[in-house]
Each structure stands twice: as C-alpha cells, then as structure tokens.
Copies of this chain bind each other. A is one copy, B any other.
C-alpha cells in the first residue's frame, strides 16, 4: 500500500468505528426519537435545497465534461422539486412501524424459561451505489428508522452532492439529540475507500450494493463484510397453453414496457407451442407497436405479423438483462421446457406465468427457484412498495437473510432473550 492508501484505510476504518459507536445510541432510540430525526432531516433538506442544488451542479458539470450518458446525468441531477420529493420520502418512512423490538416468535419452554426472539438493528449498514444522490437520503432514512448507522459510498461522480447532503442530514440529527456519526459519507476516499469499507469486517455488519451488474458482482466477490446481492433481473414471462389472449397481451406489455430500466422488467418471453397461432402474433404486434425490438427464435419469426420486424436471437440474448426496449422470445414445447429454460438463464429475480390452468400454475411455482413468482400478474409487482413493505432498500436475489424486496425488517437481525429465575440445565 502507498502512504495515501494507509491514510485512507485509517480514515475509513475510523469512520466505521465511529458509526459503530453511534449505532449503539440508535439501537436504544425510541420510535419517537427516530421519527423526529426523519422529520428534521426532511425539513433540513428542504431548507437547504438551494445550496444542495449548487453542490450538485459541480457533479453535473463534471459529468458533462466526462461525457456521462443522458440517463445517468438525469439520475444525478438534483432540482429543488426533486429535493422536495426526496424529503417527502423521509416523512413517509417516519409513518412506517418501527421494526426494532418486534417479536418474531416466543414461547414458555417446558422448564418455565420464557423465550422470545426479538428484532434488533444490524448495527452498521454500508451502502455502495452509483451517482444517485437520492439513494444517499433513502439509505440514510431507512437505516435510521431500523436503528442502524449508515456508512455511504455513493461514488466520485456524485461526491459533491453526497457530501453536501450528508452534512445537512448530520446537522439535522444533532438538533434532535442523535449522533452525527449515524450517517457518514466516505466518498472523499475514492475507490480505495470503498475497498476498505468492503473489508471492514467486525465494524460493518452488512453491505448493500445498489447499481449495475458490475458494481454488485464486484461487491459480492471482493467483500469480506457480508454483502447482499440485489437487483439483477433477467425476468421471464411464460404464456401457457391455456393463456387467455388479452391477459397475455396486457401482462407481457406491462412487464416489458411499463418501465424498461428497472430490475423487475421482463427480458424474455416464452410461449407454449399451442399458442403460436393466436396469442403469440397478437403479443408480438403489441410489443412492436410499443417500439420493442424483438429478438426471436425460428418458430417465432415464422408467425410474426406482416410489418413486424424481428432479429434472430442467440443464447446471449436469453442471458441478457436488456434494461431497454428489447425482448428475447422463444417458443417451447411445453411447461417443462419453459421451466428448464428459465432455470438455465434466470438471475432468480421474478418470473411470471399467464395461464387458466391451475395445474400449470402450481407446477410453475413449484418448479422454479426465484425470489418472486407471479401467477397472472405483471413482473413489475416485485417491489417493496407494491408488496406493502412500505419502503425498500433493494431487492435481494440471493437466498440467505432476505429474498425479494427488502424493507425495514430486513435491516434487522434478532436476539434470543430467555427469562428464568435461576434456571440451570440438568
């Protein structure tokens, strides 16, 4: 390591250590205190909106200078109106129930020992994400409500915005008597800082990466701190032999085109061979009308309506999370072939079946291994808000700890507490 690396390591580990100390105050804070902090944070963001927009302008300018894509630039840009929306989200989090202290299970054991398993905060939550200042606020708010300290690495492209936001949030925390160190940014320490965060085992309790596939895979691969794999979604819609035509059109169109850049958008369409004559052409027409590029197998190409253009699909198409107005299409002989295809290519996020057959629905649910299965519903419903979790820190595509949308409860662990009156084991 260079001398600078040593300094960065020291600074980031000290930040994590301060977060750990702060997390102890948060763990015993009442809901009233935490909600007051969320309101104070929202008020402070609105009161400082002009200054935040100014800080953000530096990042946006640098982004333009570095030829950042229009989509990323848009996500990076803060306006006073957007800051108002972000502040409202904090106020909404304040209305949600406190996950801390909720009893998951409990019983009085045969020997009279009274046992409960109770939700407690994880401690220190690390977030690594890319050029989205709104995530800085979201993550800070969700961590706080669940009693956790947050150490945030939002990327150098948004460093000016993130540091200004965190300073505002820290001041707000102090006004309600909570420690500033409960929310910290380590953007000043660059990539080396992120590396230190990923290896702050014992200080950071969980890392939640949010962003593109490369970011997530890097964090999952390189962290010694436990990380949660989120948000990669190669989602499938399967049209069963019994799929009603209009329902099929509606669900495919909504799954693919309702919002294309999100992890719960559909990327591949599988169609039972019995419906290549009626359902498939109607779906292809609707997708083409919506501007979707169709990457198709031979059987699909043959039934594309006149005027609907297609391009030949390869295995790479079936493995791709397009996040764009593209879809891969394949005809399958039966439900089992659809299941085999999905199991081969899925990232384990969300799969949907359109069917009128109860046996097909049951087999589809039982035969897959994904975080969410939709029966006659759009893949777009896999979302913390839609699922009634209130808010969402990310969508887990791994199997341990949390699966699917992660709300406040997923930012907790549990403690077992046993109350006796001198119980000893015989």
Which residues on A are within 8 Å of B, measured CB to CB? 24, 27-28, 107, 109, 113, 115, 117, 120, 122-123, 205-206, 221, 224, 226, 228, 244, 246-247, 250-251, 253-254, 258, 361, 365-378, 380-382, 386-388, 398-401, 403-405, 413-425
Q: In whole Å, how far is A269's beta carbon from the nearest beta carbon of chain B? A: 15
- CB pair A416–B371 under 8 Å, yes or no, is yes
Q: In whole Å, how far is A76's beta carbon from the nearest beta carbon of chain B? A: 26
Closest to A343 in B: B24
Closest to A378 in B: B424
Interface centre among A369, A378, A405 (most CB of B within 10 A): A369
Within 8 Å by CB of A422, from B107, B250, B372, B388, lies: B250
Contacts of A251 in B (CB 8 A): 422-424
- CB pair A258–B425 under 8 Å, yes or no, is yes
Contacts of A369 in B (CB 8 A): 27, 120, 123, 415
Contacts of A24 in B (CB 8 A): 367
Within 8 Å by CB of A417, from B113, B206, B367, B373, lies: B373
Closest to A374 in B: B418
Contacts of A382 in B (CB 8 A): 416
Contacts of A206 in B (CB 8 A): 399-400
CA distance A208 to B64 in the complex (A): 49
- CB pair B376–A419 under 8 Å, yes or no, is yes
- CB pair B226–A423 under 8 Å, yes or no, is no
Closest to A363 in B: B28
CA distance A368 to B24 in the complex (A): 9
- CB pair A372–B247 under 8 Å, yes or no, is no
Within 8 Å by CB of A421, from B366, B376, B381, lies: B376
- CB pair A380–B425 under 8 Å, yes or no, is yes
Copies in the complex: 2
Beyond A109-B386, A380-B425, A381-B420, 7 additional contacts (C-beta under 8 Å) are A123-B399, A206-B399, A226-B400, A251-B423, A253-B424, A377-B419, A404-B416
- CB pair B413–A403 under 8 Å, yes or no, is yes
- CB pair A399–B109 under 8 Å, yes or no, is no
Within 8 Å by CB of A113, from B27, B221, B381, lies: B381
Closest to A253 in B: B424
CA distance A388 to B254 in the complex (A): 47
- CB pair A109–B387 under 8 Å, yes or no, is yes
Interface centre among A109, A226, A373 (most CB of B within 10 A): A226
CA distance A122 to B400 in the complex (A): 8
Contacts of A377 in B (CB 8 A): 113, 418-420, 422-424
Contacts of A418 in B (CB 8 A): 372-375, 377, 381
Closest to A373 in B: B417
CA distance A190 to B369 in the complex (A): 31
Contacts of A371 in B (CB 8 A): 415-416
Would you mind naming 29 contact pairs between A and B with Cβ atoms under 8 Å apart?
A28-B367, A109-B388, A113-B377, A247-B422, A250-B422, A251-B423, A251-B424, A254-B425, A368-B415, A369-B415, A370-B415, A372-B416, A372-B417, A373-B417, A374-B418, A374-B420, A375-B417, A375-B420, A376-B423, A377-B418, A377-B422, A378-B425, A380-B424, A380-B425, A381-B418, A381-B420, A401-B401, A403-B415, A405-B416
CA distance A99 to B381 in the complex (A): 27
A387 and B226 in contact, given A251-B424, A373-B415, A376-B421 (Cβ under 8 angstroms): no
CA distance A415 to B398 in the complex (A): 11
CA distance A419 to B115 in the complex (A): 36
Contacts of A401 in B (CB 8 A): 400-401
CA distance A380 to B424 in the complex (A): 8
Q: In whole Å, how far is A9's beta carbon from the nearest beta carbon of chain B? A: 19
Contacts of A115 in B (CB 8 A): 387-388
